[in-house]
Chain A
Amino acid sequence: MRSLKVDVPSDFSHSTNNGNSQSKCIWLPLYEESKQIVEKYLIDITHLHHVIHAPSVRALVDDIYSKLKQKCPLQIGDVCLLMAIITSTTFFWTPRDLFTRPLFSSIEEASEQSSTWLKRTLELLEFSHRVASKTIEAIQATIIAGFVICNLVGISTEAHYWFSSATSVAWQLSLHRIDHPHNGDLNIPPPDSIEAEVGRRVWWYLVGTDWLVAPGL
């Protein structure tokens, strides 16, 4: 048993409010460890709120690590999604996983990891939503991290904040009009593509959550 090792550094240029630029370094797990964690997420967790497309997520992980190897720039949203999945998976680590996936020596260790990952994921998401180019992966990451927040403290002010941010980015990406007949000028994937279908999953998840938690009764 060993703790989650960190290995691969990745640099992001981080603009601060006063215009100065500072570099932020994020450490990701080893490729093999990420693979194991993502597999657990796909087997045990995603069906609680399925906003992803499993083959695309596997491809995304491979892509992140291959780009890191080649020192190519990464999409921040992609990294957010991987980090959110790590947050959720470590949060839901079970005694059974201690034997089948010996990444952590105890549940407590996994849980501590989860808190740290949550903090880092939210930092990066904040940056992504405010400054970086908007991607559907960042929305998926926000939903997955938001789900962990709900489980930690209930549907809190913080959870509401993150779900509203996710919805706002979804509007900006036109996820609300994927099947509109006049989408010509917009950068919307063709309606019969995997990307569009994932967009529908994400959009409807956000809509459903909005309607389910709306006070009214």
Chain B
Amino acid sequence: MINPRHMATEKPVNANDEDLVDGMKGVGQPIEQPTSMSYCLQRFRLAELCREITDSEPFAAAGVGRIPYEEIRQIDSKMTAFLSGLPSFFSLDFKADDLRETDPRRSNPITVQRYIINSLSNAARCRLHLPYLAKSSKESKYLYSRDACLAAARMVIRTERQLQNEDLPFLLMRLRSSGILHCVCMAMIVLLMDLCLNRSLRVEDDQELRMEIFGAFGVLEEAKEQTPLAGRILESFYSVMQRYNIPFGPSEAGVASQTDGRDNDNQPSVSIQHLPGTVPAIDTNQVPFDPALPSFDDLLQEFEMNVDPPILNWDTIFSELESPFISI
């Protein structure tokens, strides 16, 4: 890693390209002012946070118990502070509609960046807590991680859903961006794992969880049209689930209510027809709970085994998922 002590280059200023001139002084604007550099500057902060994590525990390869759990919680509070400290125009709750059309906070680049920074940060938060998710039904101290993981995964999916309602050129090309796909995959893995492993913890949100997973599959199905990467990921997911008989298909009634409840009825991205017939829909009341269900590592291994290396350098995807953050 590049050592911050071996560099003497300030961060770029928060300024639009047209404001830069030779001999400039004080062109940097406050962080709450959207510019061409807004996203990059937040990405640098995320990177700094990430380096801090690696510095605090170098060589720690995601093994539960290797980092004291208290530290994970501390890192998490930094991540949530980072997320809540984003400029207001990067918040998913930001109401752009009330602003005049020319307001830079509702410009296409800022809107796209709002989604990207939220997806990346939440996927990173999923990754941080993932090793503890599977243990949370057995050890209550890890319930914090389960809540954090699920909340972050849901944010990734919410981000994706909200993005689908925007009228942006990026919408037409986003699924060719591997970064977005990785975030959706991370969310799917979290939701699937919770569905499979933490059944005892759930009260009534089972159906809801299924819908969320189903929605995420829809994103990948849609992406398949645009990039072979998504097709390979989907095949791997289906193959793992089939092999372990992991239930995910919602009941017919569930599909209907999901479709009705979608934010944008005109452009449903999820359809039962998209799902392969080989994976049977399962009655939610009769979900077989197998204590020997795969661990995340099993899932990853299974994914790796199912991929044809000449077509896709699969280690890339999961080496990336192994990274604390996902972004280039």
A153 with B312: CB separation less than 8 A: yes
A197 interface residue per 8 A CB criterion: yes
Contacting residue for B47 out of A46, A92, A151, A207, CB 8 A: A207
- How distant is the Cα of A180 from the Cα of B5 in the complex, in angstroms? 12
- Of the listed stretches A8-16, A72-80, A170-178, chain B binds A170-178
How far does the alpha carbon of A139 sit from the alpha carbon of B63 in the complex, in Å?
36
Within 8 A of A (CB), among B245-270: none
Give the contacting residue for B40; candidates A53, A154, A204; CB below 8 A: A204
Q: How far does the Cβ of A207 sit from chain B's closest Cβ, in whole Å?
A: 5
- A95/B323 contact (C-beta < 8 A), A55-B17, A151-B177, A214-B54 known: no
Determine if A201 is an interface residue (Cβ-Cβ < 8 Å): yes
For A104, list chain B residues within 8 Å (CB).
Answer: none
Asked if B99 is an interface residue, CB under 8 A from chain A, the answer is: no
* Residue from the list B15, B113, B176, B327 in contact with A91, Cβ < 8 A: B176
Q: How far is the CA of A201 from the CA of B12 in the complex (A)?
A: 6
Please count how many residues in chain B sit with their CB below 8 Å of the partner chain's CB atoms.
Answer: 71
A206 contacts across to B, CB distance below 8 A: 2
A209 and B6 form a contact (CB under 8 A):
no
Interface size on A (CB < 8 Å)?
59
A153 to B179 alpha-carbon distance, docked (Å): 11
A122 to chain B, nearest CB (A): 16
The answer to whether A177 and B9 touch (CB under 8 A), given A53-B17, A212-B327, A217-B128, is: yes
**Which residues of chain B from 309 to 328 have any CB-CB distance to chain A below 8 Å in the complex?**
312-313, 315-317, 319-320, 322-328
User: Is B44 a contact of A151 with CB atoms below 8 Å?
Assistant: no
Asked if B127 is at the interface of the complex by the 8 Å CB criterion, the answer is yes
What residues on A are CB-neighbors of B322 within 8 Å?
215, 217
Q: Are A192 and B320 in contact (CB under 8 A)?
A: no
Task: Give the residue of B6, B59, B328 whose beta carbon is less than 8 angstroms from that of A147.
Answer: B328
Known: A197-B12, A210-B2. A48 touches B172 (CB 8 A): no
Collect the chain B residues with CB atoms within 8 Å of residue A210's CB.
1-2, 47
A179 to B173, CA, bound (A): 37
Given A154-B178, A200-B10, A216–B21 Cβ distance below 8 Å? no
Identify which of residues 120-138 in chain B touch chain A, using a CB-to-CB cut-off of 8 Å: 127-128
What are 19 inter-chain pairs, A to B, with CB distance below 8 A?
A43-B108, A46-B36, A50-B37, A55-B18, A150-B178, A150-B328, A151-B176, A154-B316, A155-B178, A155-B323, A192-B23, A200-B12, A204-B9, A208-B40, A210-B47, A214-B324, A217-B54, A217-B57, A217-B128
| Pairs of residues from A and B, 5 with the lowest C-beta to C-beta distance, nearest first | A216-B54, A154-B316, A94-B172, A47-B109, A208-B47
User: B: which residues have CB within 8 A of A?
Assistant: 1-2, 4, 6-13, 15, 17-18, 20-25, 36-37, 39-40, 43-44, 46-48, 50-51, 53-54, 57-62, 108-109, 112-113, 116, 127-128, 169-170, 172-173, 176-179, 182, 227, 229, 312-313, 315-317, 319-320, 322-328
